[in-house]
Amino acid sequence: MAIIEITSLNHPGVEIFSTLTEAQLRKEYEPGQGIFIAESPKVINVALNAGYTPVALLCEQRHIEGDASEIIARCGEIPIYTGNRELLARLTGYTLTRGVLCAMQRPEEKSIEEVCRNANRIVIIEGVVDTTNIGAIFRSAAALGIDAVLLTRNSCDPLNRRAVRVSMGSVFLVPWTWIDSASQLKEHGFSTVAMALTDNSVSIDSPVLTEIPKLAIIMGTEGDGLPQNTIEQADYVARIPMSHNVDSLNVAAAAAVAFWELRKR
């Protein structure tokens, strides 16, 4: 183990946990590879189980032989930066969940063909920028039988630290990639259903939808929903029946309902 005790916020090597932004980690640090941060022992173990490669650990001293010991044993000869709780909170700007962060290499971007090859139910996330919603959607997708996730490039990065944590590591379990337009899925044999309130939308429990062999569910932004052109290009438009004159649900809650109702029977 290469355990390095730090006493300064400027210690060489810890910038990946402190001064670099999410965008810098993704695009500028070690060009061609990129880094993301996984937080908490449980989430880090899910990433390791899925084959992600660790680069460095940041760990409270008291967790080296405690909560982080299993992770440290699995990570090989990578630097393990450690310090007291207060110093690490000052370094990162927040209190570490269960006292450990792991910097990991970003995987190469997958093709749509690779992600959807054996899929029957997928979700397309269009323009969702809230990290909590992205993480929650991935967690529901993993739990409720969604085979793949595709995101438009104006959506939040699933490997954002908070999105990873909220998903409880589900971003490592469900295949995902980026997409330019939901209409691309038709080339891969998928029918598309846009989740939106329109005059011609059908109820989400319509047998017309559940009987479709390959279905892509399109979820829109937290505020404005899906763009009109996305709705018009979809094969179907569906709504979730609601009571008490409630007109919509949070996108993460709506996604969970849609995933369950439209799952492959």
d(CA 83, CA 228) in angstroms, rounded, equals 52
In contact, 196 and 228? CB cutoff 8 Å: no
List, for residues 77-93, the tens digit of each pLDDT value.
Answer: 899 998 877 777 777 77
Nearest to 103 by CA among 79, 137, 83, 120: 79
For the chain, helix (H) and strand (E) counts, in that order, are: 10, 12
In contact, 183 and 150? CB cutoff 8 Å: no
Backbone angles phi, psi at 214, to 5 degrees: -130, 110
Instruction: Encode the chain (265 residues) as per-residue pLDDT tens digits.
Output: 688 888 877 788 888 887 667 777 776 555 567 889 998 889 999 999 999 999 999 888 877 888 788 888 888 889 999 887 777 777 777 666 667 889 999 988 899 999 999 999 999 999 999 999 999 999 999 999 999 999 999 999 999 989 999 999 999 999 999 999 888 898 899 999 999 888 788 999 999 998 899 999 999 986 778 899 999 999 999 998 888 877 778 899 999 999 999 987 6
∠ Cα 220 226 230 (to 5°): 120
CB neighbourhood size of 144 (10 A): 17
In contact, 146 and 259? CB cutoff 8 Å: yes
Nearest to 159 by CA among 112, 103, 238: 103
**Dihedral of alpha carbons 45, 58, 105, 36, sign:** positive
- Which amino acid is present at 181? S
- Which amino acid is present at 238? A
List, for residues 167-223, the tens digit of each pLDDT value.
Answer: 999 999 999 999 998 888 988 999 999 998 887 889 999 999 988 999 999 999 867
d(CA 33, CA 29) in angstroms, rounded, equals 8
In contact, 57 and 100? CB cutoff 8 Å: yes
Within 13 Å of residue 101, how many CA atoms lie on the same side as its CB? Answer: 24
d(CA 122, CA 55) in angstroms, rounded, equals 31
Nearest to 217 by CA among 198, 236, 240: 236
Calculate what percentage of the chain has a pLDDT beyond 90: 53
Q: For the whole model, what pTM was predicted? A: 0.90
Tokens matching residue 187: 């080339």
Nearest to 128 by CA among 50, 19, 217: 217
Sheet holding 35-39, edge to edge: 2-5, 79-83, 54-60, 100-105, 35-39
d(CA 118, CA 114) in angstroms, rounded, equals 8
